[in-house]
Every structure is written in C-alpha cells, then in structure tokens.
Structure 1
Amino acid sequence: MKTRTLLKVIAAVELLTGLGLLLAPSLVAELLLGLPLGPGAPLVVGRVAGLALVAIGLICGLENMRDCGASPTGLLVGLLAYNGAVPLLLIHSCVTNGTSGIGLWPTVALHLAFTFFIATCLRSNSAGREHSAPSQAVEK
C-alpha cells in the first residue's frame, strides 16, 4: 500500500473513531470493549481519547498533502486542535460534573501553554513562507 493511501485510510478511520468518542464515548466504548463508560471521569477520558484520535487523523490527512521538505504545518495543526480542545473539555467537565482532581488545573495550564507555542510556530512558519515566496519564484 502506498504511503499516501495509507495516510488517507488512517486519517479517515481515526477521524471517524475520534468523532464517535467525542459525541458518544460510552456507545463507542461499548462497541469496542463491550462495556459502556461510566459517568464523570470515564466519559471525560473517553472524550480526551477522541480528541487525540481526531488530532492523529488531522496529522495524517494534512501530512499526506504536504510536499517533502515543506514546513510541518499538518503536524502543527493537529497538535493545535488537540491541545486547544483538551482544556475546554476538562473545564466543561469540572463545571458540569464537578470533576476536579489534583492535576486538573496544571493540565489545563500545560495544554493552554502548548496551544500558545504551537500557534506561535504556525504564525512564524506562515510568515516565513510569505517572505520566501518571491525568492522561490525568481529561482524557478
């Protein structure tokens, strides 16, 4: 199987499974494992897993479209999606379900910091491409 085809298949499977875990984590867990997820923390963990799978799907799909030697935009976008959404899910769970372990707020802060740094990398990569585009056109 060619790499591009493999990346397309992986992207589709991971995105669909991840969306399933986000929208109906207990149902997907029951379909995959034979047991539903309980309320509270298990549902949050199932949704975080869903986010991770969506991010993996984005990475595979976007990397598949990337030219060799180009910047790692696909990787960064997938990581941005994951790290940007995890804090939202954790805060939502805290507010609606009262879940709040000792690691909740440090984890939220860490993912927000990662989100900031990834967004900064994406901005600098796109700014670098804008400045280098005219010189590439002259070379070709």
Structure 2
Amino acid sequence: MREPADQASAMIILGPNARSLMMVRLLLRVTAIGEGAMGLAFLLVPNLPALILFGQRLDSALPENIGRFVGAALVALGVACWRAAEDVESRATSGLILAVLIYDVIAAILLAYAYLGPGLAGMGLWVGLISHLVLAIWCVASLRYGRLATTGK
C-alpha cells in the first residue's frame, strides 16, 4: 500500500483520472467509517443513536431489536464499502455506489419526514440529513466518473 505522500505525488503525475479514483476511494472510506460507526452504535446500544437522531429512546424490546438489525445492516454496508475502496474501477464497486446512493437518498427522506411528520428531532438529525444529502451528491459524481472512464467520453 502506498504512503499518503506517494498517493499525492501519483495524483499530480497521473492527472484528473487519478484524482477521480482517489475521490471515489475516499467516498467509500468515508461511507465505511460513518455507516460502520453508526451501525456499531445501533448494534451495541440502540437507544444512543435513536436519542441522538430522533430525540427519543426506543421504548421496548421490539424497537431495540429492530435497531440492532439496522445496526447489523449498517456494519455490513461499512465493511462492503471499505473492501470496495481497494478496487474502485470494478463494476461491482459501481453497483455498490449505486446502492449507497439509493440508501443515502432514502435515509435523507426518512430523516426529513421524521422531523416534518411526527416532529422527531434530536441534536444529530440535521447533521445526519445533510450528511446523507452530501454523500448522495458525491455518489452521483462518482458514478458519473465511472461511466466516463469506461466509455472514454
């Protein structure tokens, strides 16, 4: 694996394609860390992320267990993104980025609905909503890069 200084040098020498690859890799790493951390929180202490996002605790065993299932899915997503960051030019990685895009858009919609509908709002709701929107835009840019790289247009 290259050292960060080597990667920066490679970006300058190789030009825009290398920079695009680095940005896709960074997207996958950021997603892996963010979703993996949130997943671990939901898996281990589901009331904590619920309180941070929605301002309320999960009030019985059923929502706590559903929160743990959400946590397991987010940890799996984080692991998939981390592994895909090593092969950013593969079609499978493109598919994963599309799946993350769909997830980010739906997550942003659900967070907005939680606020606008039932009025749930924890201190992290807006951070989560804006983060998912930014990541969705980043996914679109990454997918566009992948299409351009494979077609050469």
What TM-score, normalized by structure 1, do the two folds share?
Answer: 0.47
The structure with the largest alpha-carbon Rg is 1
| Larger RCO (CA within 8 A; separation ≥ 6) | 2
